[in-house]
Structure formats: structure tokens, C-alpha cells
Chain A
């Protein structure tokens, strides 16, 4: 556990000296800010908070893989994987450490969006339930998205490829699934509905707590972290 935290801390610290983290943070905050203000004028207070969360979730499809792409890929490319994996740490500790490092950054990023809530509170009455559940949903969605990103990063030594794989997988579950729910026929659309990230997320962004969503997001996170550990282990054998 301590080693996991040591690895997580190093990972988090490395983001503070990486231009990519600042670029992603700036784009995300600008994007969500722009989205928020344009919605607030169009729809008024009530709906805008929900729309803000939905928009933030969509942005994470691109933002998370851009943050996670370097995690293992860069260690593979630079060769530091060799010193890392010959240190007395297990693959589980490595994967969890990287995961927690990004999760910490993700929470910091989310905290930045609290500014919008403060602004809303100044000019009106934002729904506290929506706000709290929205953040719970963002956190759950984050764990699943980051796990996918970690996994993509274990697959290749090229960061760009890792980012593309991550974005593709996340887009499949966030954008393609809702579309399939609407257009596909009988058995397929039911399956799509069960895998539709946005459907689970929108329960939270409406201000309700959905245990199926918790299971879906945390289950996906565990699954992809498990796959990451297995891929990393299999790297030794190549």
C-alpha cells in the first residue's frame, strides 16, 4: 500500500511539470466554462447544472485519455519500465499507483469547476442534490474512464496510440451506445442500453443516486485495472 502511494505521488507530481496536463486542464476548464455560461443564458438556472455535468462527462472522453496516455507507454518508450519492474513492487502496485495518481489530478480538475457552482449560488438557487450527485457521478465515471486510459497505456509504447485507443473505447461507450439504443433493433439495443455510460451517468446528473450506476462504473474500473495488470505481467514474457 505504501508503495502504491509512493508511485501515485510521483505520478501526480510529474503532471505538475508536464505541459500536457496544463493544456488539458485549461481546455477542460475553458470548455466546461463556455458550455456552462452559454447554457445558463439559454435555459436558466434549473436545467443548466445538469447540462453542465453532462457536458463535463462528454469532455472527459477526450481529456482522460490525454492525461493517461503517458502512464505506462512513456515508461516503455524511455526504458524506465526496466528500473520500475526490477524494483520490489508488484504489477498491481504499479497499476494502482498510476491509477491513483491520475485520479488525484482528476479530483483537482473537478474541484476547479466548483467555481461555476459558486457563481450560480451568487445569482440563484442551484439544486444542492443535483450538485452533490453530479460530482459523485463524475467521480464514478472518472474511475472507469481512468482505468480504461491506464489499460490503453499498457498496450503500446507510443503515447499517441494509447490516447487514440483510449478515446476510441470511451467514445464507443459514451457516444456510440446511445446512438445504438436509438437505432439498433431488438437484442442489440438492449445490450447497448446496458453498456451506455451516459444513461448511467444521467441518473446522477439528475440528482438521483443509482446503485446500478455505482456497480457499472466501479465494475468497469476493476475490470480494466485487472486487464492492465495482466498486460503488464505479460510484457515480461515478450
Chain B
């Protein structure tokens, strides 16, 4: 449904998207996950034909975004990040305008508007459709934006941060709504929040600094990114240096460190992938008659991975900013 190959976008001398490639099949809900400035919105702007890429190719619904732009735009519903709306228009008037622009026949417009209003929780307060867009709260603007996107029933939906600004109940409702769009629609949405993407999407693309850092189903990603496991233990009855030396000698240990915790030594050991050092640690303590009060294995979560990526990107951009300043 969507195919992106070596897509690169420069804004002047800023490299916003750096040669990314990915593929989205029909009926998938794909989450573009990444920190601020990762290039999520830029990617979406290229896919929706708002801006051309500097190099690389992208096709949506079988049409090339550059040479068949009009066809792509007919097949895509796009909700931009800030949900820009005409403040002076009324909700119904705006939806009718967009429906007309989408070529929906005049006699079908009212029905379509009622359908999307119902679906996007706009039919509730009686006068909702007669309110002016400029007077709506953030969440309601978001709903109008979504209703607009669903008006012409496009096969592909591109939603830039669809849940930002919604209240918790609405976030859940939005999530359910997006899930209900499959398998007829293909959805790409962006977010900074891992938990949200994990719950809504069946495919996650993590991007940072304009590059794809990881790409797969939530389960695949968890497998892939669950890097070295860690064992935490608290030990007493020995010198710190002694403990450190012993710990580092354990088989398969990559790294160990110790911090004081009351009158206990808090030991942190990083082992190889999928290793479990708990028994080795226990044997070490028992063999030397040291006291052991905690022994726990920590598996890195997707969250850790994402935070790490975010942190690295911030570090890099920080350096870049520092270099140019």
C-alpha cells in the first residue's frame, strides 16, 4: 500500500529525513515512533504530496507521490500535526466544503457528514455541528480533523499525532476508532509515546535523527531490542573491591558495577544476550559466605530501548547545535 525507498529530505542545510526505506501492507496500522525532530512529520508531508523529497521514491496506494500526485491525494486522508482549520467556518459548513472538494455529490454530503460526525463523537452536544471552528477546544478540533479525514473513505489514512491534546477517555476512544479502521483502511500514525503505539499499531517504525532505528511488529521489536540482560543483587559481608573482582570473574559477565545502598553493596551485572546470571551470583555469594538479600534479573524493555534512542539523538543534535554555534 505504501512503499518508501531511500527517502531523503533536506530543508536547506538541515537533513530532516536521511535515506529511509519501509513498506506498509494493506490493512496495517503503522506507528511512526520517534522523539521530537526525528522526521516523522516530514516523512508524512512527503507521503501526502505536500512536499517533495530531495531524493528517493515513495508510492502510496500504487501511485507515485511525485508523478501521480493527484491520484495519491485522492486516496489519502491526511490529518496534519496541528489540525489547521478555518476559524470562521462552522463545523458542518467546513465538512461540507471538504466533502465538495473531495468530489462527494451534493445529495450525499449531508449523509456522509452525519456518518463521520457520529463516528468522531461530534454528534453529541446537539449544537456541535453549528459551532465555529475557532471556538472549539483542542480535543474537538482534533475530532473535526479526524471526521474530515474519514469523509471520503480513503484507503490510506495518514494521521500526524492523532491523540495529542485528547483527554484519557478520548485517547482510548480514538485508539478503538483507529483499530476499527482495519482491514479496509491502511493507517500510518505518528507518536512520541511508545505505550500508545504499542497498543494501537500492529507495526512499529522507530525513527530518530531522520533514520530508522528499528522496524517490526511490537513482538519482533521486543525480541530484537531486548539487549543484554541485567542482574541486580544486594550483598553484604565483604569489601567492595573484593565483590567487584569476584563478580567480574563470573562467566559471561560483560560489565559490573557497585554502589553502596545503606550498609549493603548494590551490585549491577550486565550479562550477554538472553543470559541469566542469577544462579552464578548466588553461588558466588554462598561460596564465600556473603549475605545476599536481593537477586533479580531485569530484561530491557522496549521503553528502555526507545528512551536510549531518544537520548542518543538528543546527544547528537546537541553536539550538532554545539558545533554550529
Interface residues of A (CB under 8 A from B): 2-3, 6-7, 10, 13-14, 17-18, 78-83, 85-90, 236-237
Contact = CB atoms under 8 A, between A and B. Distances in A.
A79 B78 CA distance: 13
Interface string B51-65: 110000000000000
B48 A86 contact: yes
A18 B84 contact: no
List 5 A-B pairs, minimum CB-CB distance, nearest first: A79-B84, A6-B100, A88-B73, A80-B84, A86-B48
Contact of A79 (B74, B82, B88, B97): B82
A18 B89 CA distance: 11
B49 A86 contact: yes
Nearest to A78: B84
Contact of B85 (A17, A80, A237): A80
A90 B70 contact: yes
A1 to B, nearest CB: 12
Given A79-B80, A80-B86, A237 B101 contact: no
B84 A82 contact: yes
Among B52, B76, B84, the one with the most A-chain Cβ atoms within 10 Å of its Cβ is B84
Contacts of B85: 80
A83 B84 contact: yes
Contacts of A82: 45, 50, 78, 80, 84
Nearest to A80: B84
B80 A14 contact: no
Nearest to B54: A237
8 contacts: A3-B100, A80-B86, A83-B98, A86-B48, A86-B76, A236-B50, A236-B51, A236-B52
B102 interface: yes
Contact of A83 (B70, B80, B89): B80
A89 B50 contact: no
A11 B100 CA distance: 14
Contacts of A237: 51-52
B236 to A, nearest CB: 61
Contact of A6 (B50, B51, B89, B97): B97
A88 B103 contact: yes
A6 B45 CA distance: 25
Q: Interface centre among B87, B101, B102, by most A CB within 10 Å?
A: B101
A18 B86 CA distance: 12
Contacts of A80: 84-86
Nearest to A85: B50
A6 B101 contact: yes
Interface in B63-110: 70, 73-74, 76, 78, 80, 82, 84-89, 93, 97-98, 100-103
A88 B230 CA distance: 53
Contacts of B93: 13
B88 A18 contact: yes
Contacts of A13: 93
Contacts of A88: 70, 73-74, 101-103
A25 B51 CA distance: 38
B98 to A, nearest CB: 7
A87 B89 CA distance: 18
B53 to A, nearest CB: 11
Given A7-B101, A10-B97, 10 more contacts: A10-B86, A14-B89, A78-B86, A79-B84, A80-B85, A83-B80, A86-B48, A88-B70, A236-B50, A236-B51
B128 to A, nearest CB: 19
A3 B70 CA distance: 13
Interface in B240-296: none
Point out which of A7, A17, A86, A236 has the most chain B C-beta atoms below 10 A from its C-beta: A86
Contacts of B84: 78-83
